[in-house]
Structure 1
């Protein structure tokens, strides 16, 4: 016969099933902790403490990110950036969110071998911040480079194990941390989709080896000292020191850049340009007409084209030229008269470029000018009624890129290729009910391509027409007014010095 106390305990268990479940899970958590932490394993004794220490303050992941960033693989470099950004968000969510909401004491670690013990943190135990950071970084990298992600996933799991083996966390803390880190990484992929390098099937790149040229013989560089708020003037000594045999032609405010570029292209064996994207596009046209390879020395503010041909700074561009490696990339022609290297836009983008240029003339600094221009566009911009390939559309944002940019999004990332032979077109249609809410919902849910507001197409030729003139901004320049804008890709028409990043 059961006692009254037994019936009372059973009744209490039925009344508080969640409390009973919580007690059972905590008991299981402690048993698993004891099994790992007290395990007499020489391998755990040798590896767990150093691994746990290496992951303190994310030192391990920062070091790995630096290695990935210095590699020649573009997807690994993107992964390093995404991994660190995801790690930072996960760390913030854990330390300023979960640890404050769910306080839990650290485990008692009398049974942990002395060879594994180290000074333990005093913050709440749930969830494990080390594990969250590890999972966030590994999955963040893996979203851009699958192979690296698989390798880092194993390391992330080992870091989680080390937190148990050294007595810092219960297994439940580690599992929760891994789940939080993974969740942040997946959410980040919804907001900023990873680059999909397999969206188009592209022939192998055209690469020429012209042989080494250590001193710059035969090179004529057209240099714009005003580019990048004076960056052009600051790189002259670096060019002359590294390429003493090269000729450098300085531009000034009154220079006829087309005449100077045509003259330089006619007498040069190799044509060079030091300036921003707008200057590079102008000189590239003359390099194509003369059939000369182009060396791009970045001296602008953003230098998008130089970065995408693996010449992010002057030193890298000099090394590429000296190595004599030339690859062919696409360019875009607007109405068969204006050459584009990067992007073009109508609607809000030209208005932004014009406003930023006007504010910069006030000498208030580029960041301030950019912010004021953004605010002005948000306040004053109006949609444009156009016809895109004959289809009527009212667009608030229109982006056109030379080659495919990143993943589906109205915030394009970087290009992984510049020789795929297509235009990348994305635009937002105005006039839909609750357009902003619907757009953000589609974006966050990862179903942007199914949205009736966001449109995307890839084609070698795109034509935009309108009854009213519209401005076409391109490569950071505000551009001219048109009633018809015909864009076409010139497939691998430009030869540039750069590393074989596409191989």
Structure 2
């Protein structure tokens, strides 16, 4: 009787689900079995290609080269895809090397079943779980795809091959690769949470308007600023719209050529930076013409906020007659005046623009901008003195945006609505440490108040007490103050072509 009672617990144990260690052993056995199956299988061309591909991905070399190739296409979307891919790779690598490799100490697979021709000449010495190569490959490919599906489709087969090569060459178990790839995908989505892609912004609340549809471009006169250095973009547009007229001119002749073009155009087109687009908008307003903008400068704020990233977007809008009305900002400074589609500013920013223009012919636009910021912030200067609302203020910067600027995560600000009827006014108060004050204002939200900076949204603004000769900037162009400064909005004044959603849903009011 006593013996029978001792057998009962053993029988009960066999009826219970297997313990965690049993499941672990089964998974490890399946993992090893799959590894040996891959080692025993011969893939045509694999022995020659996959080991080389695996080595090329060491330290991310393959992905940095791929990012450079993508960015070389010189489209804004491709450049963003390359940057997003590298940012995702960086986050994935940091997570794998600081947490992943230290959390699970797993030995590398035994190389006995792997043919010698496949084995890497230099074997890795870190722990096996998870695969850093697979994480980097998946992170880069996913980051690129989140920004550009086309480039993502091109990169995905290479990333998949790199991940598979780690099992094929015998340096990782399949589960190492699967978990590493999952972590890489997660890193790409984490980057998107911090810096959302442009397509995740809210739909622009712009009023649509009927505009001439130009299936072959007849009636479009496109004035291209040769100083923008994008002739291939203009030629690509001309290939799609063969009846369009293209006029290439030097920067000094842009104004005169725009006036000539407006006299014979049904639609006025312009290719250049924000300053060139500003000049074209002024001519289009004066002649009552719709404007077609092809981005061709360094920043292209107006075109990108419209959703026009290149010739494909613009040609589609022109062929279908898709257009919107946008607000125009106007300023007067004594006897001088003009318009702004993007921004107006007083204080340190006009000085930064002048420094950038001074250095950009020698070192390029972006390096010149960084150098200009350093030189301006390091210089010993006094704040601007201005009178706002009857009170005098020392200011380091006064910024007015044509429409409200929003920050997307940690990304630079952009506008979702170019017809909101508001000026987005921000000021950085005078005081000590101007660089710190300017940086604090740059990171602040759109509506903030503090001892260092403030922001409001208004329809018009008057600024008195500005000393004559003070620099002001509008859309990247610099001039001097010659009297009291007034800013105001002209709502929905300009008709501009831009691609609209395919679903037919209107995001504004119809013309």
Question: Shorter-normalised TM-score: what interval?
Answer: 0.5 to 0.7
Residues in 2 aligned to 1:211 and 1:188: alpha-carbon distance in whole angstroms: 36
The answer as to whether partners of 1:99 and 1:124 remain within 8 angstroms in 2 is no
* Aligned Cα root-mean-square deviation (Å): 6.2
Question: Per-residue deviation at 1:351?
Answer: 0.5
The counterpart of 2:266, out of the listed 269, 291, 311, is 269
Q: Who is 1:366 aligned against?
A: 364
Question: Which residue of structure 1 lines up, in the alignment, with residue 131 of structure 2?
Answer: 128
- In structure 1, how many angstroms separate the alpha carbons of the residues matched to 2:98 and 2:446? 29
Q: CA distance change for structure 1 residues 291 and 316 in 2, over 3 Å: closer, same or farther?
A: same
**How far off is 1:27 after superposition?**
12
Q: Structure 2 vs 1, CA of residues 256 and 66 (structure 1 numbering), >3 Å: closer, same or farther?
A: closer
C-alpha spacing 1:398/1:188, structure 2 compared with 1 (3 Å): farther
Pair 1:213 & 2:212 matched: no
Closer/same/farther in 2, CA of residues 263 and 242 from structure 1, 3 Å limit: same
Contact 2:317 2:500 in 1 (8 A): no
Q: Extract unaligned runs of 5+ from structure 1.
A: 1-24, 150-155
Q: Any residues of structure 2 matched to 1:463-482 within 5 Å, and which?
A: 463=461, 465-469=463-467, 470-481=470-481
CA 1:140/1:385 → structure 2, altered by over 3 Å: closer, same or farther?
farther
How far, CA to CA, are the matches of 2:424 and 2:26 in structure 1? Answer: 56
- Of 315, 318, 325, the residue aligned with 1:319 is 315
CA distance in 2, matches of 1:40, 1:253: 63
Name the CA distance, whole Å, in 2 between partners of 1:91 and 1:433: 37
Match of 2:276 in 1: 279
**Aligned pairs (5 A) from 1:283-432:** 283-313=280-310, 315-316=311-312, 319-320=315-316, 323-335=319-331, 337-359=337-359, 364-367=362-365, 369-370=368-369, 372-380=371-379, 382-386=382-386, 395-405=395-405, 407=407, 412-415=412-415, 418-426=418-426, 428-429=428-429, 431=431
Q: 2:31 maps to what in 1? A: 36
Sort the Cα spacing of 1:160 and 1:366 in 2 relative to 1 into closer, same or farther, 3 A: closer
Distance 1:217 1:300, change over 3 A: same
CA distance in 2 between counterparts of 1:64 and 1:196 reads: 19
C-alpha spacing 1:133/1:493, structure 2 compared with 1 (3 Å)? farther
TM-score calculated relative to the size of structure 2: 0.62
Query: 1:18 aligns to what?
Result: none
CA distance in structure 2 between the aligned counterparts of 1:26 and 1:429, rounded to whole angstroms: 65
User: Does structure 2 conserve the Cα–Cα contact (< 8 Å) formed by 1:287 and 1:294?
Assistant: yes
What residue number does 1:89 align with?
90
Deviation (angstroms), 1:133 = 2.6
Q: What is the CA–CA distance in structure 2 between the aligned matches of 1:491 and 1:423, rounded to whole Å? A: 11
Q: In 2 relative to 1, CA 182–449 (structure 1 residues): closer, same or farther, beyond 3 Å?
A: farther
Give the C-alpha shift of residue 415 in structure 1.
4.4
Is the 1:220–1:249 contact (alpha carbons within 8 Å) kept by the matching residues of 2? yes
Matched residues in 2 for 1:494 and 1:397: separation?
28
Q: 1:408, 1:387 → 2: CA distance?
A: 33
- 3-state secondary structure, aligned to 2:465: strand
Partner secondary structure for residue 478 of structure 2? strand
Q: Distance in 2 between matches of 1:202 and 1:142?
A: 23
In structure 2, relative to structure 1, the CA distance for the partners of 1:91 and 1:433 (3 Å cut) is same
Q: Bigger shift: 488-497 or 239-248? A: 239-248
Matches within 5 A, 1:216-227: 216-225=217-226, 227=227
Q: How far apart, CA to CA, are the structure 1 residues paired with 2:187 and 2:298?
A: 35
2:166–2:177: 8 Å Cα contact kept in structure 1?
no
For 1:233 and 1:435, the matched residues in 2 are separated by 39
Quote the offset at 1:489 in angstroms.
4.0
The alpha-carbon deviation at position 339 of structure 1 amounts to 1.8
Partner deviation per Cα, 1:194-214 (whole Å, 9 max, x = no partner): 368888785465154633431
Structure 1's 165 and 394: CA in aligned 2 closer, same or farther, altered over 3 A?
Answer: farther
Distance 1:264 1:312 in 2: 23
1:84 Cα deviation (Å)?
0.5
Alignment map for 1:428-447 (pairs within 5 Å): 428-429=428-429, 431=431, 436=436
The answer (yes or no) to whether the contact 1:288–1:493 under 8 Å persists in 2 is yes
The change in CA–CA distance for 1:500 and 1:34 in structure 2 (over 3 A counts) is: same
Instruction: After TM superposition, give the deviation of residue 285 of structure 1 in Å.
Output: 1.9
Deviations 1:428-467 (A, max 9, x none): 5554789849967996xx9998894775757362526252
Structure 2 Cα separation of the partners of residues 502 and 391 of structure 1: 50
Structure 1, residues 121-176: CA drift from partner, whole Å, max 9, x if none? Answer: 8224445313543674588579989xxx9xxxxxx99x999978996447689768
In structure 1, what is the Cα distance between the partners aligned to 2:131 and 2:258? 60
Q: 2:180, 2:238 → 1: CA distance? A: 57
Q: Structure 1 residues 357, 370: closer, same or farther in 2, change over 3 A? A: same
- Whether the 8 Å CA contact 1:425–1:457 is kept in 2: the answer is yes
Count how many residue pairs are aligned between Structure 1 and Structure 2. Answer: 456
Q: 1:398 to 1:255 in 2, by over 3 A?
A: same
1:107 matched residue in structure 2? 108
